[in-house]
Structure 1
Amino acid sequence: MNPRLKQVIQISISLALAGGIFWFLYKDIALEELIRQIQSSNWFWIGLSLVVSLVGFWLRGWRWALLIKSDEGKKVSAGEAYHAVMVGYLANLLLPRAGEVARCGVLSRTNGVSMGHLLGTVLLERSIDLLFLLGTILLAFLVEQRLFIDLAGQLLNVDLLLDKLLENLPLIFLGFLVFVLFMWLLLRQFRQHSFIQKLQQFFRELLGGIKRISQLQNPMGFWLSSVMIWIIYFLTMYTVSLGIESTANLSPGEVLLVMVMGSIGMVAPVQGGIGTFHALVAFILIQFGIAESDGKIFAAIIHGTQVLMILVAGLVSWIVMMKKPAWIKPVKP
């Protein structure tokens, strides 16, 4: 298939999916209700959330600069990495996952660092972020255990399930051992299959990448900035919740769970998490007793303000980087 045609099809499917979810969610929300909620919101807190979010973007750029080697091309500054990151977020609004390539392309043009090296650092970043997302989900479970159990109870009978598990514990343990043995034999039998090799390569690169972090000039800075990035994600969500009347009384633990659901929604393969972010955030807010319309409007406000900020900051960063001269490799005498 023609690559350009394939890209057009991917964009069209992604847009249709995002638009369909968004329309389904908001078809019953009156415009007047949305305007009323916007007018009654405390925009000091929402504005503060944008400032906090920008700090997080800069911190992400600073962390990325720590990973980029300076033995090829020109050393990448934190400011240059930040602008490239914002260009990447801007590209993600047009095509899911295009931001990773876009930000690497920008830095490769201005600093002469190879695309292969830059893409490798982005893959490592994404892998570390995935680990932190899993850790955040675990933290949210520990903080809001009761809610997790209640949600599970809405889908199945938890007490009955626990009784059945205890009754059949030896059988379950035996079944687990059989499953492990089966997977080991399967991996051994099909170890030459391309999918298995790619999976093994991914974990090897992840472990190798984690080892390389310890060899950086500032490994502590990398890990601390990774923690701060996720704290800033939480503060962004929390400050917005303080600015909206219907969510102002949410506890930090409840906001943490909202953030987790929103993060999962942003991982979906649609432009900027449109639709999926709104659906998951609204769903969890409804579980906290917030009216369905208020939950959907909260999701629209936080997502809409973030998208507007990315559009403005991303365009500024794109202009800044495009004005920089392309890097020319020095000619050796």
Structure 2
Amino acid sequence: MLHPKVKQTIQVSISLGVAIWIFWFLYRDIELASLISQLQSSNWFWITFSLVIAWIGFWIRGWRWALLIRHEEGKSPITANRAYHAVMVGYLANLLVPRAGEVARCGVLSRTNGTSIGHLIGTVIIERSIDLLFLISTILLAFLLENQLFLSLAGELVDLETIGDKILNFLPIVIGGLLVFVLFVFFLVRRYRGKGWISKFQQFFRQLYSGLQSIQSVQHPLGFWLSSVLIWVIYFLTMYTVSLGIHSTANLSATQVLLVMVMGSIGMVAPVQGGIGTFHALVAYILITFGISETDGKIFAAIIHGSQVILVMLAGLWSWIIMVKTPAWNKPDMP
């Protein structure tokens, strides 16, 4: 049986290898001179402005997370700034290990505040659920605005005639598997209820459940939902301002940029480091559909993704330094 660290290293290496291969496959025919020429001809005011907008979005995400985290007795309230720094540490971790950022940001925040990991993970699950809801809403909005083009793209990517049959064929297997898993966990917990490790699992899931309940007792419901909307507006503005800064995409309409954002968001969901490769492939694909040359489409994807990665690396490293220097939380002595 493989050691967990060896297994994790293999998984990270495979995902990174896949990302590098996709990136190489996409850009193997792009000449460096073309990229340099595009960089030189770009309007860097708009690209820099997009980075400012993106940074504001990161801070808002931290503020929204702080609203979800319940103030527990004996622990100091989590400020928006501290939550922001934890979020940036998470983004930085995602560049190294896919999906590691969610655990990383909970870990650094728990260390400096004392809030349980389970509770924090519960709030992150809420965040991701809300983000998924808004992603689906954004896809629906794109469909309403560009329904013909959207159906054409969906038809090319997915066999719409057979997807329903495939879902129906696999649905009983999925449901049956879930039921078996639930029964297995139930009998396992019942059989070893008194064991220490079972107690730890039960405590963790109680903490997780308390985090999931945070949505019902959020400090500022209006602020939470407005910030959730604003985060996705900022995603769009980040993409739109970059499109204005590049000559080949400067004439794209707002609805076309929305579709580019949707494709990019789907690419970022893939389990590879920082969406490398998958983001570039989907963004370039939709731009080519809009009549932009393959070279320009790929260079656009490289510029927006590369600039965002640089921002995450710089801001993430700074936040990591701040969180490392922040003293660990110590449980106050009982009177």
TM-score by length of 2: 0.85
Q: Which runs of 5+ in 2 are unaligned?
A: 186-206
Is 1:91 equivalent to 2:78 in the alignment? no
Instruction: Quote the offset at 1:190 in angstroms.
Output: 6.5
Write the deviation string for residues 145-202 of structure 1: whole angstroms up to 9, x where unpaired. 12123335657999xx7xxxxxxxxxx9xx9xxx69x968995x7664116999xxxx
- Change in 2 beyond 3 A, CA 1:301/1:117: same
Query: Are 1:191 and 1:197, in contact at CA under 8 Å, matched by a contact in 2?
Result: no
Of 101, 104, 111, 2:103 maps to 101
- Hey, what's the Cα distance between the residues in 2 that align with 1:268 and 1:153? 20
Q: What amino acid is aligned across from residue 70 of structure 1 in structure 2?
A: H
- Change in 2 beyond 3 A, CA 1:231/1:71: same
Write the deviation string for residues 309-331 of structure 1: whole angstroms up to 9, x where unpaired. 00000011011111111110001
Query: Are 1:124 and 1:206, in contact at CA under 8 Å, matched by a contact in 2?
Result: no
Superposed, 1:268-279 pairs within 5 Å as 268-279=270-281
Instruction: Quote the offset at 1:212 in angstroms.
Output: 4.4
Of 129, 132, 156, 2:131 maps to 129
Instruction: Quote the offset at 1:208 in angstroms.
Output: 9.4
Q: What amino acid is aligned across from residue 292 of structure 1 in structure 2?
A: E
- Which one is further off, 146-155 or 216-225? 146-155
Alignment partner, residue 5 of structure 1: 6
- Hey, what's the Cα distance between the residues in 2 that align with 1:141 and 1:294? 25
- Change in 2 beyond 3 A, CA 1:266/1:185: closer
Q: Which runs of 5+ in 1 are unaligned?
A: 162-171, 199-204
Secondary structure at the residue paired with 1:93?
helix
Cα-Cα RMSD: 2.8
- Hey, what's the Cα distance between the residues in 1 that align with 2:240 and 2:174? 46
Alignment partner, residue 111 of structure 1: 113
TM-score by length of 1: 0.86
Alignment partner, residue 146 of structure 2: 144
- Hey, what's the Cα distance between the residues in 2 that align with 1:131 and 1:277? 20
Alignment partner, residue 281 of structure 1: 283
- Change in 2 beyond 3 A, CA 1:43/1:186: closer
Alignment partner, residue 26 of structure 1: 27
- Hey, what's the Cα distance between the residues in 2 that align with 1:112 and 1:132? 31
- Hey, what's the Cα distance between the residues in 2 that align with 1:206 and 1:139? 33
Alignment partner, residue 55 of structure 2: 54
Number of residue equivalences: 309
Instruction: Quote the offset at 1:7 in angstroms.
Output: 1.0
Alignment partner, residue 231 of structure 1: 233
Of 194, 216, 225, 2:181 maps to 194
Write the deviation string for residues 47-105 of structure 1: whole angstroms up to 9, x where unpaired. 00000000000000000000001114221000000000000000000000010011011
Instruction: Quote the offset at 1:220 in angstroms.
Output: 1.1
Q: What amino acid is aligned across from residue 75 of structure 1 in structure 2?
A: P
- Hey, what's the Cα distance between the residues in 1 that align with 2:279 and 2:29? 18
Alignment partner, residue 42 of structure 2: 41
Of 222, 243, 261, 1:220 maps to 222
- Hey, what's the Cα distance between the residues in 2 that align with 1:275 and 1:51? 24
- Hey, what's the Cα distance between the residues in 2 that align with 1:324 and 1:100? 20
- Change in 2 beyond 3 A, CA 1:259/1:225: same
Alignment partner, residue 249 of structure 1: 251
Alignment partner, residue 71 of structure 2: 70
Write the deviation string for residues 249-296 of structure 1: whole angstroms up to 9, x where unpaired. 000000000000000000000000000000000000000000000000
Overall identity of the aligned pairs, in %: 66
- Hey, what's the Cα distance between the residues in 1 that align with 2:5 and 2:226? 41
- Hey, what's the Cα distance between the residues in 1 that align with 2:330 and 2:159? 65
- Hey, what's the Cα distance between the residues in 2 that align with 1:149 and 1:207? 39
Secondary structure at the residue paired with 2:217?
coil
Secondary structure at the residue paired with 1:193?
helix
Structure 1 stretches of 4+ with a deviation exceeding 3 A read 152-158, 182-187, 189-192, 195-198, 205-212
Instruction: Quote the offset at 1:206 in angstroms.
Output: 12
Alignment partner, residue 262 of structure 1: 264
Q: What amino acid is aligned across from residue 54 of structure 1 in structure 2?
A: W
Secondary structure at the residue paired with 1:74?
coil
Q: What amino acid is aligned across from residue 316 of structure 1 in structure 2?
A: W
- Which one is further off, 133-142 or 212-221? 212-221
Instruction: Quote the offset at 1:3 in angstroms.
Output: 0.8
